[in-house]
Structure 1
């Protein structure tokens, strides 16, 4: 009886999500597309949910953030970083011909639910169109233009916003989003509790 009731609740939730998806206009970020999560299986409901990671930050984020995905194109990092605190790293990497500014912003929230809300609110308030992306924590998305691209995601109670900015004449790497995803993945791994 409880499995049937759970299926009914999931079906009603899906109907509400689908009918609510048509409320936004075509000019809203994300294009009004919504992907429904898979229906819960009985196996998943009986298994214990994994514990969410609880991050704590200390020390210099620039020393812990993974900048290696940009090191092949921009091998040198400026000796003096613009900002280097436990929650913010702003630095510039250069090659013989061009440079990129990297910003890694780590926001600690009290819970995973608060981190999820932070990211969802960012989506709703986005001033530029955004695109979902896999592989960089949960609910990852990026937005940007020809000289400024930002990736936002969360894992546990930690939100990471990773941004690359260039002079237009230098040009943005074609694979900048994949590089930002790898920066986020590596940084989550290095900061893992």
Structure 2
């Protein structure tokens, strides 16, 4: 009699393959929401999302770098008025050093105003002449006229000039905040020039 085979029968091929294979993962919440959305619509959503991110990044990095026309116009108006008064002082002052300081101041401020004007024109910005005249102060003329009669013209002009230049520097600083790199360079150079004027012995 032949011995009986005690070995268990071999399992049929692929009988337990389902245990070894990776089971499909259930779709996430986002996948469930988009499962019924057509493919073209999904692509459109991705494009819109990408554009939204680009807009946000642009606003964060470049949104504050704009040309503040009103502030620059205000700076120009101040420069124009200081230049006007200094030109008048150049003619009316008796002391030669006062005339020289007034002439230098008038030239510097007029040049700064013109440079800012050229910048705005290059940006296709129209400069409002009425806003440029906003700083015109006829009371300054009256004070200088009275000082001329009282023989204290120079000191009156020096007092006006020092206060006006300090205020002008403050307006340069205000316009510099958030401005483009090009206009910042212009305003910083203007500030330095005004600081040099303020070192004049008559203004100390």
TM-score, scaled to structure 1: 0.25
Pick the structure with more strand per residue: 1
Structure having greater relative contact order (Cα 8 Å, sep ≥ 6)? 2
Q: Which has the larger radius of gyration?
A: 2
Pick the structure with more helix per residue: 2
TM-score, scaled to structure 2: 0.24
